[in-house]
Structure 1
Amino acid sequence: MKEKINKTNVARLLDKAKIAYQLVPYEVDENDLSAIHVAEQLGEDIEQVFKTLVLHGDKSGYFVCVIPGDHEVDLKKAAKVSSNKKCEMIPMKELLPLTGYIRGGCSPVGMKKHFPTYIHCTAPQFDKIYVSAGQRGLQIQISPTDLIKETQATVADLIAVSEEE
């Protein structure tokens, strides 16, 4: 018998939008909230486990970037796609009051209010990707096209290219 997973607000919103998804629990390590740890726990390719970052632009205000878990957001690229001259990650203390989510449990779906959302251009290459279900220890497996539709996201190149690549 499968253990019942309590539905998160994210799951309820996806149900309401009639979007197929799967809730996937994982073991939380309070000392390692990285997407790399999540991918290892899920036994999934890190390129398919996306993290949700909230940024603040000098012109647009807040916006959201959803990127593969082992990459860093390129602030110049993020600023450009969001029509800002510059942008920065929001301070951690602003995350919960702004989005309703805590670090390690921030989902692009169901924030307190809708912010412009940008998803990295590799997402549509996959049948399924993982994003936070809105709490630590729970991911949502979802089709990238459904996630893009639900969050009204723009697909863009958002990640910093490391020197080795």
Structure 2
Amino acid sequence: MSKTTRATLALQRAGVSFTVHTYDYDPQAERIGLQAAEAIGADPNTVLKTLMVLVDGKPACVILPSDREVNLKKLATALAGKTAQMMKPADAERLTGYHVGGISPFGQKKRVPTLIEETAFAHDSVFINGGQRGLQVRLDPRDAAKVLGAKVAALI
């Protein structure tokens, strides 16, 4: 497994301090983020999942703890929209350039509005997908928000 991806390169270019953590990705896992948390021995609250969504038909990226579910109504409101829905996996892969299970908010092919669940900021560091299945980057959530130009909102 390569530890250099578009995501890690984007973080390096931004001058962000991060560490890389690999684990055995289980494609059969019911909840990929929870499997990642268990595999790296981290609290599920600190392992954030990356979801690609549509708000009023426009793409957006949402980052939230792996043990929680996004509230689509709150998400739509946070982006001044009326409706929100999950993006189809094939569309998410095409838009981001990453495979489902390895979608990172960093280094996506097309930059889209990004939101981070506010509870992530209760931690000094969080894990976020590093751009490939079985690869997580650990960094300060404030650095992640800054690099992504992300909006912080209550999404759960």
Question: Which TM-score tier does this pair reach, normalised by the shorter chain?
Answer: over 0.9
1:65 equivalent to 2:62? Answer: yes
Following superposition, the deviation at residue 5 of structure 1 comes to 4.9
Aligned positions of 1:30-69 closer than 5 A: 30-32=27-29, 34-58=32-56, 61-69=58-66
- Superposition TM-score, scaled by structure 2 size: 0.96
**Partner residue in 2 for 1:139:** 136
Partner residue, 1:157: 154
**Alpha carbon RMSD of aligned pairs, Å?**
1.3
Matched, 1:107 2:67: no
Q: Which runs of 5+ in 1 are unaligned?
A: 160-165
Q: Distance in 2 between matches of 1:6 and 1:41?
A: 17
Count how many residue pairs are aligned between Structure 1 and Structure 2: 155
The aligned runs of 1:91-106 (5 Å cut-off) are 91-106=88-103
1:113 shift after superposition: 1.2
Unmatched runs of 5 consecutive residues or more in structure 2: none
Per mean C-alpha deviation after superposition, the further-off stretch among 96-105 and 143-152 is 96-105
Name the larger-Rg structure.
1
TM-score, normalised to structure 1, is 0.90
Q: Tell me the distance in 2 between the aligned counterparts of 1:120 and 1:101.
A: 22
SS of residue matched to 1:44: coil
Q: Percent identity?
A: 35
